[in-house]
Structure 1
Amino acid sequence: MSQPKATQPSILVVSAHAADFVWRAGGAIALYAERGYHVRIVCLSFGERGESAKMWRHPGMTIELVKAARLEEAQRAADILGGTLECFDLGDYPLRVPDQALLRLADIYREIRPELVLSHSREDIYNFDHPLATHVAQEARIIAQAHGYKPEVSVIGAPPVFLFEPHQPEQCNWKPDVLLDISPVWEKKQRAFTTMAAQEHLWEYYTRVALQRGAQATRNSDSKIQYGEGYARVFPQVSEFLA
């Protein structure tokens, strides 16, 4: 696993399952990687039970084989996007996060000191693993800010947290505050899609999402934007001017 250079800025992506970061934040990952950021992608699980239905249709399939295949897919996608992948292997359906894993994530915050954090929506009535992942991402952030946690290591500041788009946003009380232009890196995100053979049915869906967010970004700017990603802010933006 590659480490950030001493002067290299970082961002952190916390994904419930092995493919979530590709569909929802692949554009942001590729954009920041091209800008010279160290992008750490933490996958809490491989999505071996709930998001690998295509693989389970093969005779003789086992949980170990599914995990290995999903890890390979996620690693290839991360390599295409320019991120560094770290998998916790906590299981899914249900995802359960013990304190040891929560503190491991807090240590990653302290290690890479991210300038921003990306994770899931706070609600998802179709997938309970997703809001748990973002809860853990934000709880670990708070622990990493606590002076009494490993006081020999410097605390982090207050990196902004952005929640990427759930599969059915209207049902998850999610709406975008930020529309990110990912047109320059769309080809990378699309190539990363194709590594996710276990969820081929989502390739076209998330292409349509990117086109829709691009059209909305164009409507809300002076630019012609073809592909976009939507994000919801968790904390207020602090600025010396309104923009």
Structure 2
Amino acid sequence: MKGIKADILAFGAHADDIEIGMGGTAAKYAAAGQTIVFCDLTKAELSSNGTVASRTEEAQKAADLLGVQERVTLDLPDRGLFLTQESIRSVAEIIRLYQPKVIFAPYEKDRHPDHGACSRIVQEAFFSAGIRKYETNGKDNAHKADRLYFYMINGFHSPDFCVDTSDFMHTKKQSLQAYRSQFEMGADSVVTPLTSGYIEAVEARDRMMGKEVGQTFAEGFLTTVPLLIEHDLIGDKE
């Protein structure tokens, strides 16, 4: 881990979580020159399809397609994500290492327990990383990110705000298609929710989200604190 300073640091329980929820947003801000870092909490070693090695290769390809500068993977156990001091400290160390302006995590309400657990761990780490006396690896380099936002993986929830991703939907789809072991049926594959039209469902959700805000595609996000609107309250002059 190099520890470059990140504008956006996004966490997911497994590789492909971030792409599903905010791949278009990541690509959009990367194209605008922002530094994007992804962190997967587990190696997804219990996935029904694929292997740790194939998933790692696919994850890096997906990150490259989106313009992500760095992708790191922690060694927390798949289906063993719990709100422990170890898990909180591991995530807090990543936050302090990359010093992000904004952090993203999965929305807590999700059919997969690991996604909700990841959300809770990141929320705790977001707070703890900013406490000067909170120790991570014996270092005192507290960092308080400006904001913590939540993206959707499974399901459709009413967002607090949306990002127009119309110009980046194709890139998002490419990043998801990089996970061939997860979204395609191979000779040794078993049927899962991911192999049954999942990418098409994500595209439909982003299209519906876009329709809600007058765009072709959009990704929706949630927040626990109000957003301050300034220059874009009225919108651009025509």
Q: What TM-score, normalized by structure 2, do the two folds share?
A: 0.82
1:36-58 Cα deviation digits (max 9, x unpaired) = 22211110113332xx3344xxx
Aligned to 1:159: 146
| Structure 1 counterpart SS, 2:9 | strand
Aligned to 2:191: none
1:21-68 Cα deviation digits (max 9, x unpaired) = 11111011111211222211110113332xx3344xxxxxxxxxx111
| Structure 1 counterpart SS, 2:71 | strand
Aligned to 1:105: 91
Aligned to 2:199: 203
1:237 aligns with 2:227: yes
Aligned to 2:16: 19
Cα distance in 1 between the residues matched to 2:178 and 2:2: 21
Q: Which amino acid aligns with 2:9?
A: L
Q: Which amino acid aligns with 2:129?
A: A
Cα distance in 1 between the residues matched to 2:229 and 2:132: 26
Higher helix content, 1 or 2 = 1
What is the CA-CA distance between 1:181 and the residue it aligns to? 0.5
What is the CA-CA distance between 1:96 and the residue it aligns to? 4.2
Cα distance in 2 between the residues matched to 1:2 and 1:226: 37
Q: Which amino acid aligns with 1:75?
A: Q
**Unaligned ranges ≥5, structure 2:** 184-194, 234-238
Identity %: 26
Among residues 116, 119, 136, which one is paired with 2:121 in the alignment? Answer: 136
Which of structure 1's runs of 4+ aligned residues deviate more than 6 A? none
Describe how 1:1-243 pairs up with structure 2 within 5 A: 1=1, 3-4=3-4, 10-49=7-46, 52-55=47-50, 66-83=51-68, 84-96=70-82, 99-124=85-110, 126-150=111-135, 153-169=140-156, 174-200=157-183, 201=195, 202-218=198-214, 225-238=215-228, 243=233
Structure-2 change in CA distance of 1:91 and 1:152 (3 Å): closer
Cα distance in 2 between the residues matched to 1:97 and 1:44: 13
Q: Which amino acid aligns with 1:168?
A: G
Q: What TM-score, normalized by structure 1, do the two folds share?
A: 0.80
| Structure 2 counterpart SS, 1:53 | coil
Number of residues of Structure 1 aligned to a counterpart in Structure 2: 217
* Residue pair 1:90, 1:97 contacting (<8 A) in 2 also: no
* Residue pair 1:15, 1:42 contacting (<8 A) in 2 also: yes
Cα distance in 2 between the residues matched to 1:156 and 1:239: 25
* Residue pair 1:88, 1:101 contacting (<8 A) in 2 also: no
Cα distance in 1 between the residues matched to 2:232 and 2:19: 32
What is the CA-CA distance between 1:95 and the residue it aligns to? 2.8
Cα distance in 1 between the residues matched to 2:95 and 2:228: 21
1:207-243 Cα deviation digits (max 9, x unpaired) = 111211111120xxxxxx2111110112222466893
What is the CA-CA distance between 1:17 and the residue it aligns to? 0.9
Structure-2 change in CA distance of 1:240 and 1:33 (3 Å): closer
- CA root-mean-square deviation: 2.3
What is the CA-CA distance between 1:180 and the residue it aligns to? 0.8
| Structure 2 counterpart SS, 1:229 | strand
Q: Which amino acid aligns with 1:92?
A: D
* Residue pair 1:116, 1:159 contacting (<8 A) in 2 also: yes
Structure-2 change in CA distance of 1:2 and 1:81 (3 Å): farther
Structure-2 change in CA distance of 1:107 and 1:240 (3 Å): same
